[in-house]
Amino acid sequence: MSDNTSSISTPSLSGAAEQTARIAPALAAILLGTFLVLGVGFAHSDAIHNAAHDSRHSFAFPCH
C-alpha cells in the first residue's frame, strides 16, 4: 500500500523576517498614535482643538 498523500508546504519566514513582520506594524501604530496625540494636542486650530477636547481631558492630556 503506497501513501500518495501530498503535503502542502507553506512558506515560512526566517526569524529576522518574522520579527520584522511583527515590529513594523507596531512601530507604525506607535508613530501614528504619537503624531495624533501631539499633533492635535498642540494644534492652534480651534476646530481641531474642540474636536478632540473631551478625549484629551479623559486621558489627562493637558491642552490649555
Spatial distance between the Cα atoms of 37 and 57, rounded to a whole number of angstroms: 12
Domain residue limits, the chain: 15-58
Residue 48 and residue 63 in contact, taking contact as beta carbons nearer than 8 Å: no
Residue 64 has pLDDT above 60, yes or no: yes
Report the pLDDT value the prediction gives residue 20, as an integer from 0 to 100.
Answer: 81
Alpha-carbon distance values, 61 to 36, 38, 43 (Å): 12, 10, 13
Residue 3 has pLDDT above 60, yes or no: no
pLDDT in tens, 16-62: 778 888 899 999 999 998 888 787 777 777 777 677 777 777 777 77
Spatial distance between the Cα atoms of 60 and 48, rounded to a whole number of angstroms: 18
